[in-house]
């Protein structure tokens, strides 16, 4: 019963990049070059020597790239789906407006770089070689069709019409990053009976007693009964998911745990949490992560514009906040806040070791809270794992900047999907102190409502 029936195989080799549309220098037009996945178009073109002046200092290239279209393509070997087996293609990040095809059959269209995608291809995957292609159109051209300001020439505001990182459009004084490409991992996943679709542990501490409520959502290929087991700090619990149902909650009581503390106030103690999904006679899937037990309540925020006046009633962290008051494990602390931006507008170029070095630099400078600005993305697993290990608190802004985002389809549906995905992902991290506010009138209440359901203790609005 030790083997897991869930199998995951990356598709990161053999990719090519081809220019398929839009005005470009003659050496680029219709050219096909090797591509790295995860990656980005400007980096692939530069490695191939097709950018005459090289990329800009920030890794991007000339403005003509904003209007071009591109194809990523590769082949991978597979076997056909067996009876009762599911076969999925999974993308961790697509930047941004794309059509995905397997063996020349379109399986999806995407419009959001802030979320992952999963596509059922059990009817399409074939024995031997399979061809996977991703065709990207200009996100700027797409956004111009959605956002009125972008349509009339203010391309720096084009992010309001498409779920692409706002910073990449250059609205804040820097050059725009004309990125496109597969910026996250790609893989084929094969499974049967059921898999773990979402694992959302909510972790609390009362004295030296820890509790983990593991909220689980499964995707099913059959209707048989399932059991979820959760183990942490030497304690174990289980829960049944009856036939046909897709959600369950496992509560693990862990007495006598060590608390997680921010740096300078105690050890940042972490524990391994293991969640297993079983059918009657098989272990179907497993989820492993590190968590920390702590209590934290935001009690005050000092803003630059307020001349040091502490926020009354419900404190919130804004771009002006320079210090917060937090009661951690019953101890009141005052912590310095610094803004955190992505280390590069080309996200695929950011290495985990560079993230760690920057967080360590901030920690050594006496910073206690990193405020992740909404001009970027929900920060990476490497960022949050580093902050957990180093005892650095985080305030995470949802990726909305200012006001004026398009209400309704397609932005609204994408905003719901990305918020659900990332709040579930970030909820177990002891480093996550709270979420920042969303200023946009169309999406502030929507995002807050999702957080209220999935991670209420960190809601500040």
| Domain CATH number, residue 212 | 2.60.40.10
| Confidence band of 1 (pLDDT split at 50, 70, 90) | very low
| Confidence band of 234 (pLDDT split at 50, 70, 90) | very high
The pLDDT score that the predictor gives to residue 49 is: 92
Asked whether residue 209 is assigned to any structural domain, the reply reads: yes
Q: Which residues of 16-42 are buried (b: 16+ CB within 10 A; e: fewer)?
A: ebbbebbebeeebeeeebebbbbbbbb
Q: Which CATH number fits the domain that encloses residue 82?
A: 2.60.120.260
User: To the nearest whole percent, how much of the chain has pLDDT over 90?
Assistant: 78
Q: Which domain does 37 fall in, by range?
A: 7-189
Question: Are residues 240 and 185 located together in one domain of the fold?
Answer: no
| Confidence band of 61 (pLDDT split at 50, 70, 90) | low
Judge whether residue 380 has pLDDT over 70. Answer: yes
Phi first, then psi: give them for residue 424, nearest 5 degrees: -65, -40
Question: Are residues 381 and 316 located together in one domain of the fold?
Answer: yes
Segments in 8-91 forming alpha helices (H): 41-47
Residue with tokens 């203010």: 154
Asked whether residue 2 is assigned to any structural domain, the reply reads: no
Judge whether residue 57 has pLDDT over 60. Answer: no
Question: Are residues 366 and 275 located together in one domain of the fold?
Answer: no
Report the sign of the C-alpha dihedral through residues 23, 24, 30, 33, in that order. Answer: negative
| Confidence band of 310 (pLDDT split at 50, 70, 90) | low
Question: Are residues 148 and 200 located together in one domain of the fold?
Answer: no
Question: Are residues 384 and 238 located together in one domain of the fold?
Answer: no
Asked whether residue 218 is assigned to any structural domain, the reply reads: yes
The pLDDT score that the predictor gives to residue 460 is: 67
Q: Are strands 393-396 and 369-372 parallel, antiparallel or unpaired?
A: parallel
The pLDDT score that the predictor gives to residue 191 is: 98
Q: Which CATH number fits the domain that encloses residue 304?
A: 3.20.20.80
Question: Are residues 198 and 243 located together in one domain of the fold?
Answer: yes
Angle, CA 349 vertex, CA 348 and CA 352 arms, to 5°: 95
Chain segment 87-120, per-residue pLDDT in tens = 999 999 999 999 999 999 999 999 999 999 999 9
Chain segment 121-159, per-residue pLDDT in tens = 999 999 999 999 999 999 999 988 876 565 655 667 888
Question: Are residues 49 and 115 located together in one domain of the fold?
Answer: yes
Q: Report yes or no: 262 and 333 within 8 Å, Cβ to Cβ.
A: yes
Question: Are residues 199 and 136 located together in one domain of the fold?
Answer: no
For the chain, the domain total comes to 3
């Amino acid at each position: 019963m030790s083997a897991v029936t869930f199998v995951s195989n990356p598709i990161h080799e053999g990719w090519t990049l081809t220019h398929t549309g839009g005005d470009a220098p003659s050496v680029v037009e219709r050219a096909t070059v090797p591509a790295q996945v995860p990656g980005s178009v400007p980096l692939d073109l530069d490695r191939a020597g097709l950018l005459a002046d090289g990329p800009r200092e920030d890794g991007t290239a000339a403005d003509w790239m904003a209007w071009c279209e591109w194809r990523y393509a590769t082949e991978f070997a597979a076997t056909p789906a067996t009876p009762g087996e599911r076969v999925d293609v999974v993308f961790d990040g697509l930047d941004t407006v794309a059509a995905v095809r397997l063996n020349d059959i379109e399986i999806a269209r995407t419009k959001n770089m802030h979320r992952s995608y999963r596509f059922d291809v059990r009817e399409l995957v074939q024995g031997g070689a399979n061809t996977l292609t991703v065709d990207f159109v200009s996100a700027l051209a797409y956004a111009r069709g959605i956002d009125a300001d972008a349509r009339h020439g203010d391309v720096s505001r084009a992010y309001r019409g498409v779920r692409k990182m706002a910073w990449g459009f250059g609205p804040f004084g820097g050059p725009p990053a004309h990125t496109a490409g597969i910026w996250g991992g790609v893989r084929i996943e094969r499974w049967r009976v059921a898999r773990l679709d979402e694992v959302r542990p909510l972790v609390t501490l009362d004295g030296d007693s820890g509790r983990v409520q593991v909220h689980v959502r499964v995707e099913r290929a059959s209707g048989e009964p399932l059991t979820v087991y959760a183990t942490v700090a030497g304690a174990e619990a289980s829960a049944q998911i009856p036939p046909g149902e897709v959600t369950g909650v496992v509560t693990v009581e862990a007495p006598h745990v060590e608390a997680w503390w921010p740096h300078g106030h105690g050890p940042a103690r972490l524990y391994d949490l293991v969640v297993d999904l079983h059918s009657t006679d098989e272990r179907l899937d497993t989820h492993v992560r590190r968590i920390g037990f702590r209590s934290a309540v935001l009690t005050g925020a000092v803003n630059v514009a307020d001349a040091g006046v502490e926020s009354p009633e419900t404190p919130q962290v804004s771009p002006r906040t320079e210090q917060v008051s937090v009661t951690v494990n019953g101890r009141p602390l005052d912590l310095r806040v610094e803004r955190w931006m992505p280390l590069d507008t080309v996200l695929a170029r950011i290495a985990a070791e560079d993230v760690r070095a920057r967080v360590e630099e901030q920690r050594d400078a006496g910073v206690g809270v990193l405020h992740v600005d909404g001009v970027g993305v929900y920060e990476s697993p490497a960022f949050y794992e580093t902050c957990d290990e180093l005892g650095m608190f985080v305030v995470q802004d949802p990726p909305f900047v200012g006001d004026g985002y398009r209400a309704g389809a397609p932005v609204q549906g994408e905003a719901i999907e990305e918020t659900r995905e990332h709040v579930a992902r970030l909820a177990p991290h002891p480093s996550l102190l709270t979420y920042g506010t969303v200023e946009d009138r169309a999406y502030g209440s929507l995002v807050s409502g999702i957080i209220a359901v999935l991670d209420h203790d960190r809601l500040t609005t």
